Amino acid sequence: MTVDVRADLGALSLDNPIVTASGCFASGAEIDRFYDVATLGAVVVKSITLEPREGLPPPRMAETPSGMLNAIGLQNPGIDGWLAKDLPWLQGKGVPVIVSIAGTSVDEFAEVARRLRGRAGVVGVEVNLSCPNVDHRGLVFACHPEPSADVITAVTRAVDVPVFGKLTADVTDIVSVARAVIDAGATGLSLINTLLGMAIDVESRRPTLANVLGGLSGPAIRPVAVRNVFQVHQAMPDIPIIGMGGVRTVRDVVEFLLAGASAVAVGTANFADPFAAHDLLAGLRTWMADHGVAKLSELRGAVQMPDREA
Ligand X SMILES: Cc1cc2nc3c(=O)[nH]c(=O)nc-3n(C[C@H](O)[C@H](O)[C@H](O)COP(=O)(O)O)c2cc1C
Interacting residue ranges for another protein, rule: CB under 8 A: 23-26, 30-31, 33-36, 39, 46, 54-55, 57-68, 70, 72, 75, 210, 218-219, 268, 270-275, 278-279, 282
Q: At what angle do helices 145-158 and 106-114 cross, to 10 degrees?
A: 20
Binding string to ligand X for residues 73 to 102, with x set by CB under 6 A, is what?
Answer: -x-------------------------x--
CB-wise, 47 or 153, nearer to another protein?
Answer: 47
CB-wise, 16 or 268, nearer to ligand X?
Answer: 268
Contact 181, 128 (CB under 8 A): no
Give dist(CA 198, CA 200) in Å, integer: 7
Q: How far is the CB of 250 from another protein (least distance, A)?
A: 13
Which of 207, 218, 243, 260 binds ligand X (CB under 6 A)? It is 218
- Adjacent-strand bridge partners of 99: 125
Which of 77, 162, 246, 260 binds ligand X (CB under 6 A)? It is 246
- Residue 24 engages ligand X in binding (rule: CB under 6 A): yes
- Residue 16 engages ligand X in binding (rule: CB under 6 A): no
With CB under 6 A as the contact rule, which of the stretches 20-28, 29-37, 255-263, 297-305 interacts with ligand X? 20-28
Q: How far is the CB of 21 from ligand X (least distance, A)?
A: 3
Which of 268, 284, 296, 299 binds ligand X (CB under 6 A)? It is 268
Using CB distances below 5 to 8 A depending on partner kind, what does residue 231 bind out of ligand X, another protein, none? none
Give the active site residues: 131
Which of 14, 247, 281, 284 binds ligand X (CB under 6 A)? It is 247
- Residue 217 engages ligand X in binding (rule: CB under 6 A): yes
Q: How far is the CB of 258 from ligand X (least distance, A)?
A: 17
Residues that bind ligand X (CB under 6 A): 21-24, 46-47, 70, 72, 74, 100, 128, 166, 193-194, 215, 217-218, 221, 244-247, 266-269
